[in-house]
Structure 1
Amino acid sequence: MKIKSLHIYSDDARRRDVEFHDGLNILTGQSSTGKSALSEIIEFCMGRSSFNIPEGVIRDKVRWYAVIYRFAGEEVLIAKPAPGPGAQSSSAVMVWRAAEVNAPAFDELIVNDNDDGVVALLSSLLGIPENTTDVPIESSRESYDANIKHTLYYLFQKQTIVANKDQLFYRQNEDHQTQTIKDTLPILLGVSGRDKFTLQSKLRTANRDLRLNAKLVTQAQDAIDNSEQRAIGLLSEARAVGISIRAESGVDVVDLLRQALEWRPQSVPDEDGERVSIIESELSDIRERRREAQRQIESAQLFARQASGFEGEIVEQRDRLASIKALPFNKATGDWQWPFAPANLALETPIAAAMLAELDNLDRELEAVTGERPALEAYLLAQQNDVARLSEQIRGKELELSSAIASNEAIAEMGSRNNAAARVVGRISLFLENLATDEELNRLLTEQRRLKAVIADLEGRLGADDSESRLVATLSNIAMHMSSYIKDLNGEFAEFPARLDLHNLTVVIDRPGRPVYMYKSGGGASHLAYHLAALLSLHRFAADYAQPLPRFLVIDQPTQVYFPSESAYKAAGGSIDQTELQDADLTAVRRLFEVLHRYATHDVPGFQLIVTEHANLRDDWFQAALVEDPWTKPPALVPDDWPDMPLA
């Protein structure tokens, strides 16, 4: 798998093409002309949905991105539209396959697939075998299939990585990616395949089944040991809640429990809450009528007391006035005589007449009061009889209310008893369902022996697997070339063997006494040498042994480590003259490109190395490797006269 060409399309249907060839491809020029975006476009068109194209003119002016990949006997166009405004990803894809594919016109671009389809297609064409990652049985990670996405770690050495002492592979510093590299690289190198995973998957399943079976065996044994004691307890509970169980001599306690399953709840009548309410209402009405009769009696009794007092006063007044009739009288004339009055006034004076009239009035009032007493006494008696009658009715209603409440409580108790019995019957049913028999225990023990035999067989077959030794041999083959590339690039400790440490994902120099890890070494030039040595050796092994890695590597700005400063490196700007004026270590720059040129023409003939740079050399072979004239402003990847895309 190599890159034939890269294409971008403007919103007004124009197209910009960048053609690549086998061997060394160099794109040089000024900064901010789009060189570093090439790797992002290539990755975007290999099935990655995240849109990582740098902000600026590329995002603002490009509507579609496309890459044509070359395989043996087939070419594949992968084109993707730019995500909509505000979107950070896109999985819409156009796929076009043919023996030879040319870039389509703008009006031919149409979505017909998605990133999942791209990943499946490219993985198949690349020849990644059916596989699943080799995850240890005790690990919590899930296994998955290695695919084209897992080759990206080895295809891009971006500006921030190419000389990074702490990070060897692309995306190695992202969450979970380190372990993914460790899981998938052995598959891509042909070391680990599906057979081992299949055996480990079966072993994992058998161990899980054995653990489950062991629990069932333990439960069955405990159930058999404790079944009689539990059955006796349940039988006692059943009788306590009123479940009728007929005790028969010689009958096993478990068989007695089965009688409980025949229990049916008693019919429970509905509570008569309305009747209680009616009685309470009637009782309240009678009590109110009795209180009214008692108030009438109290009023009548108060009236009687007041009448008695009035009668007493009348009698007293009458007695005083009656005394006038006891006045002395003249025996000679027979007339009454007032004391101290002229003789013979009698009773005909106005005063006497008034007093006698008052006396007559008092006599009449006394007669009236005395005459009303029998009627008042009769009224009081009638009211007292009503109170007695109402009190008797109250006692009757209270008895009726008490009976109604007691009836409802009995109904509630009956329902509770049914519920309690139902719970006990449920527990008995569960006990009988889970009751382990000797036959069930024997079946479980037989299954346990079978699973142990299966596990022993799988472990034996896995023990014969030689993937670990094959991985060691593969890494040794890769290490065989690493030392020579480090020496060619003048890396530190070049006199000692170097190797790829798959456990730590770094380069190790095996210096006698104490190994030197890349992250403990010094100097950007040495870090660059270690990076390129590891990647070139890895791809050389894959090419030599036809392993499924794409046959290209994109390296972004590797010679920056040979310039005195970043500004000096950028000042080179793709110009030969400026490169020679920047006080750079041109010998090291030339040595680097000579190694890359030799690699693509001799070590791995036809391997595609794509290098984006600021430096430019006069050498004919270097100039022949240039993909285009050095990019300036303009021209660059995106022409200035392309229109900006609408924001919505």
Structure 2
Amino acid sequence: MQLLALALYHRDGRKDHRVLRFRPGALNIITGESETGKSEVQDIIDYCLGRRTPNLPDEPIDQSVGWYAVLLIFKDGSRMVLARPRPTGASTLHAMVRTGDATLELPQADELIANSNVAALRSEVSARLGIEDFRFQPPTGAARSAFDVSIAQAALLCFQNQNEIADKTTLFHRQTETGMAQTLKDTLPYFLGAAGPEQSLRRHHLGEATRAQRQAQRKYEDALRQQAATDAGGLTLVRLAENEGLLTDVPVAPDTGQVVALLHQALDASPRTAAPLDLPDRRYELNEERRALREKLQEYDDTLASVDRWQEQGRVFTGELHLQLNRLQTLALLGPEQLHDATVCPMCTQPLREPDLSAQDISDLTSELADELTHAQTIQPVREEHRRVLQAERAAVAERLRLNGAQLRELVASDGRMRHLQEQHVRIAHIQGRIAEALNRTGSDSDTNKLRHELDLAKDRVAALQVLVNEDDIAAETERCLTNIAINMTAWAKHLNLGRAATATEVSISLNLLTVIVRSPDSRLPLRRIGSAKNHIGYHLVAHLALHTYLQSNNRPVPGFLMLDQPTQAFFPEKPRDASKVQDADWATVTAYFTLLDEVAQLNEGNLQIIVSDHANLPEPWFQDAVIANWRPDDGGNRNALIPFDWSR
């Protein structure tokens, strides 16, 4: 898989879009001044290939571009368009995928529509690339999770940002991000051809078989421990059951078989000494009766109090009647005065405004009071009789309440005996529960033998799978692949006259360290111990060129392009405006680096596409033939860049 074109579409949907064409199977150079978008090309392509967390610049690209798209070509001649909208926020999962034959081209702006997502995009590209559909299974006991191998891991081998290509501590794209170094170590053997889905599946089966063996081992050991515990504690349970009457005629020193038999006998025995628990029916009845009697006694007390209040009120009433009647009876002593005119004042003989009562009226009132007093005195004996009846009934209720209390005290007196019987029943139930638990934990000899047999089968399966995994010897096969890669690395490092290369016996990639190792008869140095940025960049170049040459010659499922950003940065001042105008740079070394890139592209006979973004612009014809974009001001002073000048206006 190689790149044919990159397209940027304006956010306003205008028809004209920015297109950058690439030459497949050759060296492609994007040269120009600083801040023209050279480095962003690599980030955009990485994003279009399905990266979930893009690293795209904010200005001016983010302000003007609405969609990004790449046109890919595969070895069979088929093509694919991968387009993704400008990310909103930290990421976006939307994508557009279109496939076709050799006539497929970049879509027009009005054809862009999200018809897929990142997961489907990766799956489609991975299948076209030839990456087998399998899930990488980490070794048994590893803390990391399994993952699907796809273009996401293969793309890590195809990019070198400007801060990565000059890094002396890392070798691969995004290696310093969390988990990426381990991902590279896990997948590089597959991409080299040292491991495949079969090996991963065998390792997965070995992990499952190992876990099954550990489970079988635990079950067997638990059974042995439980059996030993029963032998030690079984006799104690037998003695406890004997003390409670569940067993009789127990031998003085029973053996293991007798102990188990006695435990089963005690479990099946009925507890003769354990009386049934006392049901509180009688106690409940007595308490209910006592409550009812107390309520009835209270009712009688309330009624008697009412009668007493009634009698007291009657006595007060009759006493008042006697007093008033005695006062009125003095009217009988009057003589002729009884006939006095009540409408005239007896003192002044003047007419009264309101006439007084006549003597006859007062006499009539006296007769009425006498009748009422006689009636009230006849009621008093009835009240007394009613009170005596109530007192008699209350006395009967009080006697019943006394008898009820005596019965309750009798029940309380018998609680001690009943409590003893209940405690004995609880002890027996507790002992039988312990016996049942002990017998459940302890299997028979046949159960133990079955667990032992299952453990032996699990061990045999682990041993058989371990033999298959050992036969794979992925580490040795990976080392063989890296040794083949080291042949070109060593030769090209010497050709570029890199540090320590002249005396080196081998320059290779270390899978464990993910860096370049320079071996000589007296030393073994990692890249971080070799000085100068020139050497750091040079060793990155020879490592990735040799790696991709090996991958393409062995038809491995890795994209056939390598993108390098600023490989000559070590030879120019910091952030030069235009490196082609720097006079004191080591142009001989710069030329040697680009010459090697061109030669390796030709060596791969069209299978490897190398894309370089750099400030350098060599005058050699072969270099100028490789330039696909020169982003410097033209003769008229107009600025050339990835983003057209009129897009930012």
TM-score, with normalisation over the residues of structure 2? 0.73
Is 1:39 aligned to residue 50 of structure 2? no
Provide the C-alpha distance between the structure 1 equivalents of 2:536 and 2:397, rounded to a whole number of angstroms: 113
Alignment of 1:315-330 (within 5 A): none
Match of 2:540 among 531, 547, 556: 531
How far has the Cα of 1:603 moved from its partner? Answer: 5.2
Deviations 1:401-456 (A, max 9, x none): 76899999999999999998877766655555444112222222233333333333
| Cα distance in 1 between the residues matched to 2:497 and 2:450 | 71
| Other-structure match for 1:355 | none
- Cα pair distance change 1:73/1:410, threshold 3 Å: farther
Counterparts in 2 of 1:560 and 1:229: CA distance versus 1, 3 Å: closer
- Which 5+ residue runs of structure 1 have no aligned equivalent? 298-380, 573-577
Aligned equivalents of 2:584 and 2:429: distance in 1?
Answer: 96
Deviation at 1:97, TM superposition (A): 3.8
Would you say 1:637 and 2:638 are equivalent positions?
no
Pair 1:496-2:499 in alignment: no
CA 107–252 in structure 1, closer or farther in 2 if over 3 Å, else same: same
Q: How far is 1:69 from its partner?
A: 1.3
Task: Give the drift of 1:130.
Answer: 5.1
Instruction: Render the CA deviation track for 1:28-57: whole Å, top value 9, x for unaligned.
Output: 223232221211211112122213211112
Q: Does 1:155 find its partner at 2:158?
A: yes
Residue by residue, what CA displacement relative to the aligned partner does 1:572-598 show, whole Å, maximum 9, x if unpaired? 0xxxxx623453222222222112111
Answer yes or no: is the 8 Å Cα contact 1:599–1:605 preserved in 2: no
Amino acid in the other structure paired with 1:532: L
Partner of residue 121 from structure 1, selected from 117, 120, 124 = 124
Match of 2:449 in 1: 442
SS at match of 1:637: coil
The residue aligned with 1:343 is: none
Q: CA deviation at 1:489?
A: 2.9
Query: Which sits farther off after the overlay, 578-587 or 509-518?
Result: 578-587
Contact 1:246 1:256 in 2 (8 A): no
Corresponding residue number in structure 2 for 1:457: 464
**Within 2, Cα distance between the matches of 1:421 and 1:58?**
85
TM-superposed deviation, 1:392: 4.6
Matching of residue 189 in structure 1 with residue 192 in structure 2: yes
Q: 1:611 matched to which residue of 2?
A: 612
Aligned equivalent of 2:335: none
Which letter does structure 2 place at the counterpart of 1:637? Answer: L
> Residue deviations 1:92-140, cap 9 Å, x none?
4434343442111222222222222222222222222455547444434
Residues 269-288 of structure 1 mapped to structure 2, 5 A cutoff = 276=287, 279-280=290-291, 283=294, 286=297
Alignment coverage as a number of residue pairs: 562
Name the CA distance, whole Å, in 1 between partners of 2:618 and 2:112: 39
Contact 1:231 1:257 in 2 (8 A): no
Matched position secondary structure for 1:474: helix
Partner of 2:594: 593
**1:95/1:432 CA distance change after superposition, 3 Å:** farther
For the pair 1:480 / 2:487, whether they are aligned, the reply is: yes
The answer to whether residue 3 in structure 2 is matched with residue 3 in structure 1 is yes
Pair 288,384 (structure 1): closer, same or farther in 2 beyond 3 Å:
closer
**Counterpart contact for 1:206–1:451, Cα < 8 Å:** yes
Contact kept? 1:518, 1:527, Cα under 8 Å? yes
Instruction: Output the amino acid matched with 1:178.
Output: A
Contact 2:293 2:397 survives alignment (8 Å):
no
Query: 1: CA distance between counterparts of 2:470 and 2:450?
Result: 30
Asked whether the 8 Å contact 2:241–2:431 carries over to 1, the reply is: yes
Is residue 132–residue 143 contact of structure 1 (8 Å, CA) maintained in 2?
Answer: yes
Which residue identity is paired with 1:502?
L
Displacement of 1:2 in angstroms is: 0.4
| Amino acid corresponding to residue 3 of structure 1 in structure 2 | L
Which 10-residue stretch deviates more, 445-454 or 280-289?
280-289
- The 5-angstrom pairing of residues 307-322 of structure 1 reads none
Contact preservation (8 Å) 1:289, 1:390: no
Deviation at 1:277, TM superposition (A): 7.4
Equivalent residue letter for 2:454: E
- Cα pair 2:65 2:86 within 8 Å, conserved: no
Partner of 1:507: 516
Change (3 A) 1:81 1:474: closer
Matching residue of 1:17: 19
Amino acid at match of 2:464: D
Task: Report the Cα offset of residue 399 of structure 1.
Answer: 4.6
Q: How does 1:144-543 map to 2 (within 5 A)?
A: 144-227=147-230, 252-256=261-265, 259=268, 276=287, 279-280=290-291, 283=294, 286=297, 392=399, 395-396=402-403, 398-399=405-406, 430-497=437-504, 498-543=507-552
Name the CA distance, whole Å, in 1 between partners of 2:128 and 2:285: 83
- AA at the equivalent of 2:294: L
Per the alignment, in what secondary structure is the counterpart of residue 166 of structure 2?
coil
CA RMSD of aligned residues (A): 4.8
SS of 1:200 mapped into structure 2? helix
Task: Quickly say closer, same or farther: Cα 1:402–1:178, change in 2 above 3 A.
Answer: farther
Measure the CA separation in 2 of the matches of 1:402 and 1:640. 109
1:548 aligns with 2:557: yes
- Does the C-alpha gap of structure 1 residues 137 and 88 become closer, same or farther in structure 2, counting only changes over 3 Å? closer
User: Contact (CA 8 Å) 2:136, 2:148: kept in 1 or not?
Assistant: yes
Asked if 1:56 is matched to 2:59, the reply is: yes
Indicate if the aligned counterparts of 2:489 and 2:508 stay in contact, CA closer than 8 A.
Answer: yes
What letter is aligned with 1:283?
R
Instruction: Give the aligned residue type for 1:149.
Output: A
| Distance (Å, rounded) in 1 between the aligned partners of 2:185 and 2:89 | 35
User: Cα 1:405–1:600, aligned 2, differ >3 Å: closer, same or farther?
Assistant: farther
Alignment match of 2:111 (pick from 108, 111, 114): 108
In structure 2, the partner of 1:580 is 581
- Displacement of 1:256 in angstroms is 2.3
State the shift of 1:502 in Å. 1.6
CA distance in 2, matches of 1:174, 1:420: 65
Give the partner amino acid of 1:161.
E
**TM-superposed deviation, 1:279:** 4.1
Offset of residue 200 of structure 1 = 3.0
CA offset digits 1:310-364 (Å, max 9, x no partner): xxxxxxxxxxxxxxxxxxxxxxxxxxxxxxxxxxxxxxxxxxxxxxxxxxxxxxx
Gaps of 5+ in 2: 252-257, 309-387
Instruction: Please tell me the residue identity of whatever aligns with 1:215.
Output: R
Q: Aligned residue for 2:381? A: none
C-alpha distance 124-383 of structure 1, shift in aligned 2 (>3 A): closer
